[in-house]
């Protein structure tokens, strides 16, 4: 009798706890209102903002190089000091210096920067002053348009440690799809700006230039170029900036395409789904592929983040310190950047002595990207972007709490650093039109798998255009 009443009490307690939990989950979901994110005014130039009107002209720009620049670089490469790696360490301790020596040798003896400058200049580039700083961008119009069609403007934003150059392989697939077997239903004119502080865009001189600032600047850019409606595409920092852009100007962004979509607002349901998702995937909206990529969670989630986020931690706290040596030693800069092109393309590459980098990229492309950081001296300012975005913590800022109602397409690449299941992404992106598990590829999708990415962008735009989804917001 005593036992049964005890059991009864325990059962009652269990029901009470469960009931409370269910009530909390149902009636108090995290409130995400559908408000727009305010446009962020700013002035990032040196010293005080002048009283005169800002110069809004768009000037053509060409990348240039000098003999002095090249001889300075070669001198530094010649005098580079390397440290022997530990035996059998491959890429587990970071970039392997034995492989790095080979890269430096190629850089000195075979890489042709003058030729690469011509490659960079094959697409028209421009600069224009916005909010006090010079914004660099590439603007490629389609070589031909089918009768009666107009080019769709597409803004593509790079990330760190990438640059506008990452898009050079995908641009022709989007501006001239017919010549690449992608049909001619949708033809784009592509705008690839450099984030302020990256490459040939001037670095902000004032504190607090974060992703919302970048989104506001790019919004002004698109308006200045005469685009009232456009598509936006991004990964890495580009993901965040384009998301903010869709939040600031939902009536101007026809569609948002992402190859990365991280969860910033981690809540109780996320925790629960991590604990139980492996066993009850259906309950949490996980598909088989989600489970495959996410579990075991400690290994594929938590430990992986800890192992791979050291750079983000130091850049978010002491960018000027860590960037200093990288702006002075091209070899150090190359080691730092190449490590990401290895590990973020495929984590297994850490176990390879050469980091597997040349399996997916060629050295000319990788070194061209590195040279953009070197000749512009932008490593430090590029790192400051992490501090400006992360210093208040993750999930604390206003834009992280607001949703996105713009039609969204997500291309989920298997070797991306963190996998976000659609079930989690749709809490933020409330209007997901397409979500595809890509068959292969990692973080630098545009450079590594341009055809796959272009195809996904095409099918996404097809869906948006066919159903005129942007009008239904």
Question: Which residues are designated catalytic?
Answer: 236, 386, 443
Nearer to other proteins, 76 or 180 (CB): 76
- Helix/strand/coil (H/E/C) assignment for every residue in 182-246: CCCCCCEEEEEECCCCCCCCCCCCCCCCCHHHHHHHHHHHHHHCCCCCEEEEECCHHHHHHHHHH
Q: Is 304 in the site for other proteins (CB under 8 A)?
A: no
DSSP string, 9-40: HHHHHHHHHHHHHHHHHHHSPPP---PPPPP-
- Give the residue, chosen from 103, 240, 261, 331, that forms a contact with other proteins under the rule CB under 8 A: 331
**Three-class DSSP category at 420:** coil
Strand partners, 61: 125
Q: Are 242 and 215 in contact (CB under 8 A)?
A: yes
377 binds other proteins (CB under 8 A): yes
Please give the residues from 200 up to 239 whose contact with other proteins meets the rule CB under 8 A. Answer: 204-207
Q: Which of residues 238, 332, 441, 450 is near other proteins by CB under 8 A?
A: 332
Smallest gap from Cβ 104 to other proteins, in A, equals 11
Q: Does 389 bind other proteins (CB under 8 A)?
A: no
For residues 241 and 238, what is the distance between their CA atoms, to the nearest angstrom?
A: 5
Q: Residues 159, 193, 196, 319: which binds other proteins (CB under 8 A)? A: 319
Give the list of residues 6+ apart from residue 319 with CB closer than 8 angstroms, or none.
380, 383, 384, 386, 387
Binding residue (CB under 8 A) for other proteins from 20, 149, 251, 321: 321
Which residue in 384, 399, 419, 428 binds other proteins (CB under 8 A)?
Answer: 384
Q: How far apart are alpha carbons 74 and 80 in whole angstroms?
A: 10
C-alpha to C-alpha distances, 160 to 378, 385, 415, nearest whole angstrom: 11, 9, 17
Tell whether residue 395 is a contact of other proteins (CB under 8 A).
Answer: no
Interface map 242-281 toward other proteins (x if CB under 8 A): ----------------------------------------
Which CB atom, from 285 or from 301, has the smaller least distance to other proteins?
301
Nearest to 171 by CA among 452, 446, 463: 446
DSSP state of 303: I
Shortest gap between Cβ of 209 and other proteins (angstroms)?
9
**Which residue in this structure is represented by tokens 């919302």?**
212
Element spanning 424, H or E: helix 422-428
Q: Hey, which residues between 83 and 122 contact other proteins (CB under 8 A)?
A: 83-89, 93-97, 100
Q: Determine the Cα–Cα distance for residues 254 and 245; give it in Å rounded to an integer.
A: 11
According to the binding rule CB under 8 A, does residue 324 interact with other proteins? yes
**For other proteins, which residue of 31, 81, 114, 466 counts as binding (CB under 8 A)?**
81
- Interface segment toward other proteins; rule CB under 8 A; list 19-27, 213-221, 331-339, 444-452: 331-339
For residues 45-64, which are near other proteins according to CB under 8 A? 46-47
Q: Which is nearer to other proteins, 172 or 442 (CB)?
A: 442
Look at residues 217, 219, 216 and name the one whose alpha carbon lies nearest to residue 253: 219
Site residues for other proteins per CB under 8 A: 46-47, 72, 75-76, 79-89, 93-97, 100, 204-207, 306-311, 313-329, 331-333, 335-336, 339, 377, 379-381, 384, 387
């Amino acid at each position: 009798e005593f036992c049964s009443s005890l059991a009864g009490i325990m059962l009652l307690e269990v029901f009470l706890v469960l009931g409370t939990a269910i009530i909390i989950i149902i009636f108090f979901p995290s409130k995400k209102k559908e408000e727009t994110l305010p446009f962020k005014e700013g002035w990032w130039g040196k010293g005080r903002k002048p009283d005169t009107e800002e110069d809004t002209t768009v000037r053509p720009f060409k990348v240039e190089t000098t003999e002095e620049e090249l001889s300075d670089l070669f001198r530094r490469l010649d005098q580079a000091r390397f440290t022997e790696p530990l035996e059998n360490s491959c890429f587990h301790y970071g970039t392997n210096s034995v492989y790095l020596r080979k890269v430096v040798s190629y850089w000195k003896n075979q890489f042709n920067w003058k030729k690469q400058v011509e490659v960079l200049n094959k697409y028209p580039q421009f600069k224009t002053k916005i909010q006090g700083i010079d914004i660099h961008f590439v603007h490629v119009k389609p070589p031909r348009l089918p009768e009666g069609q107009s080019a769709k403007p597409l803004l593509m934003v790079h990330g760190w440690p990438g640059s506008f150059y990452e898009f050079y392989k995908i641009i022709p697939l989007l501006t001239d799809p017919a010549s690449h077997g992608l049909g001619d239903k949708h033809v784009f004119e592509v705008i690839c700006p450099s984030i302020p502080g990256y490459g040939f865009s001037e670095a902000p001189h004032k504190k607090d230039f974060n992703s919302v600032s970048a989104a506001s600047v790019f919004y002004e850019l698109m308006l200045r170029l005469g685009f009232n409606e456009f598509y936006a595409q991004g990964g890495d920092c580009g993901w965040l900036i384009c998301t903010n852009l869709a939040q600031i100007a939902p009536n101007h962004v026809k569609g948002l395409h992402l190859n990365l979509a991280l969860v910033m607002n981690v809540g109780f349901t996320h925790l629960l789904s991590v604990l139980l998702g492996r066993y009850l995937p259906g309950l949490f909206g996980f598909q088989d592929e989600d489970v495959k990529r996410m579990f075991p969670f400690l290994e594929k989630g938590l430990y992986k983040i800890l192992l791979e986020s050291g750079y983000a931690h130091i850049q978010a706290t002491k960018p000027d310190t860590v960037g200093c040596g990288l702006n002075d030693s091209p070899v150090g800069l190359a080691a730092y950047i190449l490590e990401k092109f290895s590990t973020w393309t495929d984590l297994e590459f850490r176990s390879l002595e050469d980091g597997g980098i040349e399996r997916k990229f060629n050295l000319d492309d990788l070194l061209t990207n590195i040279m953009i950081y070197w000749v512009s001296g932008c490593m430090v300012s590029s790192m400051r972007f992490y501090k400006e975005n992360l210093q208040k913590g993750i999930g604390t800022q206003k834009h992280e709490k607001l949703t996105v109602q713009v039609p969204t397409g997500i291309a989920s690449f298997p070797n991306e650093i963190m996998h976000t299941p659609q079930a989690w992404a749709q809490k933020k992106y409330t209007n997901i039109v397409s979500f595809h598990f890509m068959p292969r590829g990692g973080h630098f999708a545009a450079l590594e798998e341009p055809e796959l990415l272009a195809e996904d962008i095409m099918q996404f735009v097809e869906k948006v255009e066919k159903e005129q989804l942007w009008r239904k917001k």
